[in-house]
Chains A and B, each alone.
Chain A
Amino acid sequence: MKALIKDPLSLIVIGVAGQGNVVTSFLICDALVNEGYKVTFGQTYPAQQRGGPVINYIRISEHIQASPIIPEGRADVIVAMEPVEAMRMLNQYGNPEVMTIVNPRPIQAIDVTGFGNKYPSVEKLMEDITALSAKTWVIQATEEARKLGNPIMANVILVGALVGSGVLPLDRKAMEPVLQERFPKTLDINMKALEKGIELMKQYA
């Protein structure tokens, strides 16, 4: 087992219900358990099927079964499928050392359209996310997924970005069997999405 950069390592995967961030988390967790780590995967989600934020907490350790919720201010890595959600997580779990991977593609809320509660400027949002993270990786996951044929694959691109970032003890080889297991019929396109994510991280190398 490779040593973790921190133990327990606390990762948040956040998205809006319907973006597929639970699948993102499954892929990461399955691969980590295969590598022999103790992993806890907790979730909070809204009661309706769509629209609310879905928070996934992933805790990774060599020794302990950590709790399914991350204590306030103690996230090590945030993977955000949406920029406002990145800020929501920084507000609750951020700290000066946190690393953030963010897909800048906004999803409006029904409150915004229905209640006159305006979606903030994405430019300003990205500026603040960068200022509040020790490291920020901006990944155009939705845009790249659309090029691959389906915007929903943004989630697997972000898995690739996370693998490419090197913050987890996972590489492409560790991901292939879990992608095979989750997507037996669409393995090829999902592997492409994974590789796209890894490639997009190279711009930061």
Chain B
Amino acid sequence: MPDIDIDAPGKTLMLMGNEAIARGALEAGVGFIASYPGTPATEILPRLAEVTKSRNLYAEWSINEIVAMLNAAAAATAGIRSMASMKQNGTNVALDAIANLNERGLRGGAGLILVNADDPGRRNSPNEQDTRSVAKMLDIPLLEPGDFQEAKDMIPWLYELSEELDCLVMLRVVAKISHTRGNVTLGELSRREQKAHFDLMPTIASWGQINLHARLHEKLKRAKERFETSPFNRYLGPETPDLLIISCGASFLYAMEAVRILGVQDKVGVLNLGTIWPLPEKLIEKHLRNTQQVLFIEEVHPFVEQSVMEFTASLGPDGPRPFFYGKRSRHIPSYGDLTPDNALGAIAKILNINYQSRDPEYAEKVQVASKEEVITRLGTLCAGCPHRASYWAIHRALMLDGREGFATGDAGCMSAGFGPAGYFVAKYGACMGGGAGLADGYGKLKRFGFTQPVIGGEGDSTFYHATIPALLNAVWNQSDFTLVVYDNSTTAMTGFQPHPGVGMTAMGAQGKIVPIEDICRSFGIRVEICDPFELEKTTEVMLDVLRDEGHGPRVVIMRHECELQRARRERTPYEVSVNPDKCLGESCGCDRLCVRIFRCPGLRWNEQTGKSEIDEVICSGCGLCADICPRGAIEKKAAGEVGVSQ
């Protein structure tokens, strides 16, 4: 994979949607980008950070999304084309900034784009919120790419729009574009000069002489005019189709695929909208007048569907009155991510086509075989993951304590705490920082007879992102709980991004390290640091801290580097094996503790021998399981060492 700034106009590369956006930024002359890691938005920033040495570009992993948004706004108002990129949950964090930057405009500076990557189907998110509503709620012009090429091409176009209107603009991209890959033909790299200067000339502020909201509506009107003729609204099909599909995002590709498979190109047209808010109403009205039936295909909310119905209603009795199909009519599901099959099913139903995806006899045979043979695979923590050790210690400490204690959880790899990989230790969670914020709340319920010990769980990156205010609040208001920071020294889930505890910046420079314990200790509270791989000690500390009640919050930092990050640098620490002479198998009183309860994927049960064994393809050699086997049957020896260890 060449660097994203390869100077080869006309060359075609396979790019992830996020990379296409990054390339678009370079072709538009972006000088400043800030972000916080979050799937499916993550890759935009690192691909740009990689080229900061050769280009005059500043790229930053910010502490959280509102800081990223404000940073980008500052650079834009100083004349540098800027971008803030984030996932849908991050846009919520940045919302207060967005809801004020929209009206204030950019003081005649350079363009500012908020890239928001949504996650329909919530495959890597706590929710599947549709962020297009933010654009409607806050009067922000919004585009959405329908393929990989558009993901790139929309960026320079959006910057021109942002500068023409002097306002923040948004790009919404769904995961099936941002996080999948396709062909992108490159354009010219920008040669734009980057010179920052903040113009002191007084401009309209928010003290009341001018109604900023009214001014924003004027801008939106002008955006709508531009959108009516935008090249990003494409129609493919006959002039007067029996069925008009209105799609956006990846749904465009699903609609086109379904039309091809059903062979209905001569009677079905697809209007893919790239300009989503405000809608190009005249363009849409023209197409509505040419058909009697309309099907909306979009992820997640019926945003375009409802907006089109709304303006159609205002056209009066002479306006077009086609049948509208979509989420309201239940032809398209109103939650989850879509597939081409959703488009196939809806079109076939409307046009009365009998569509069979495959030979029914084959379908029956394969279903019978699968019922027997396809096992469920839940996601789990990696072999060697330090979170497994932390959760094991916490699980044991809560059992030993015996007062129905529980933990809250948060995002990232440590969210495995809600499931079997984390022994169901985490019972409730909400958002970034939610683990601490919720625990802070539970810690104040004593007057209502609440006696359960509570553990607030946060990751290390999340600690810096959104935990500090909750912890400070707990210290001030003397909330009784234990904050555990699962510190694996990286933002692992999204691909090992650094944070202030590591010090390294997105551009690879050494920034200032701000240790978690220094922040916590400055609050004057008890702070313990454990290596969770020292299972006994960690369990003891945990139990002691849980019972150290009556004077506000305590903090336990469980620090052990992410196994995948370690493995990139060093060799495996141990060779682990199960000694078949010591493992008693089914007859041991442990009831298969290692595979049934501990559940590291590197361990498996051998049905033939009735004993446990190591799957050497998966085992990372961390050696943790050697410490949990009550018989000492799991043995570890330093990797490379000859002979048998005791």
Interface residues of A (CB under 8 A from B): 16-18, 29-30, 33, 36, 38-53, 64-74, 84, 87-88, 90-91, 94-96, 105, 107-115, 117-120, 124-125, 128, 131-132, 142, 151-152, 181-182
- Select one of B377, B416, B597 contacting A109, CB under 8 A: B377
Contacts A43-B179, A71-B341, A114-B420 known; A109 to B376 CB distance under 8 Å?
yes
User: Interface code B563-603, partner A: CB below 8 Å = 1, 0 otherwise?
Assistant: 01000000000000000000000000000100111010101
Cβ < 8 Å to A, chain B residues 324-379:
339-341, 344, 357-359, 362-363, 365-367, 369-370, 372-379
B421 within 8 A of A: yes
- Select one of B370, B385, B413, B420 contacting A110, CB under 8 A: B420
**Is A120 touching B373 in the complex (CB atoms < 8 A)?**
yes
Complex CA distance for A120 and B179, rounded to whole angstroms: 33
Q: Tell me, rounded to whole Å, the shortest Cβ–Cβ distance linking A17 to chain B.
A: 7
Interface residues of B (CB under 8 A from A): 1, 12-14, 123-124, 147-149, 176-177, 179-183, 250, 253-254, 256-258, 260-261, 339-341, 344, 357-359, 362-363, 365-367, 369-370, 372-383, 385, 413, 415-416, 420-421, 492-493, 564, 592, 595-597, 599, 601, 603-605, 607, 615-618
**Is A50 touching B380 in the complex (CB atoms < 8 A)?**
yes
A to B CB contacts below 8 Å, 25 in the list:
A29-B14, A41-B182, A42-B181, A43-B180, A46-B379, A50-B380, A50-B383, A50-B601, A52-B379, A53-B377, A68-B182, A71-B257, A71-B261, A71-B340, A72-B357, A74-B357, A88-B370, A90-B369, A113-B596, A114-B596, A114-B597, A118-B375, A132-B362, A132-B365, A151-B616
Provide the residues of chain B in CB contact with A53, threshold 8 Å: 377
Q: Tell me, rounded to whole Å, the shortest Cβ–Cβ distance linking A35 to chain B.
A: 11
Complex CA distance for A48 and B601, rounded to whole angstroms: 12
Provide the residues of chain A in CB contact with B420, threshold 8 Å: 110, 114-115
Q: Which residue of B lies closest to A128 (CB)?
A: B369
Q: Tell me, rounded to whole Å, the shortest Cβ–Cβ distance linking A84 to chain B.
A: 6
Contacts A48-B380, A65-B253, A113-B595 known; A84 to B340 CB distance under 8 Å?
no
Provide the residues of chain A in CB contact with B363, threshold 8 Å: 73
Complex CA distance for A95 and B363, rounded to whole angstroms: 8
- Select one of A40, A88, A90, A113 contacting B182, CB under 8 A: A40
Complex CA distance for A157 and B327, rounded to whole angstroms: 45
Complex CA distance for A90 and B605, rounded to whole angstroms: 27
Contacts A66-B257, A73-B357 known; A49 to B493 CB distance under 8 Å?
yes
Q: Tell me, rounded to whole Å, the shortest Cβ–Cβ distance linking A127 to chain B.
A: 9
Complex CA distance for A121 and B97, rounded to whole angstroms: 57
**Is B254 touching A69 in the complex (CB atoms < 8 A)?**
yes
Provide the residues of chain B in CB contact with A68, threshold 8 Å: 176-177, 180, 182, 250, 253
Contacts A29-B14, A113-B596 known; A91 to B375 CB distance under 8 Å?
no
Provide the residues of chain A in CB contact with B416, threshold 8 Å: 48
Provide the residues of chain A in CB contact with B13, threshold 8 Å: 33
**Is B380 touching A71 in the complex (CB atoms < 8 A)?**
no
**Is B379 touching A38 in the complex (CB atoms < 8 A)?**
no
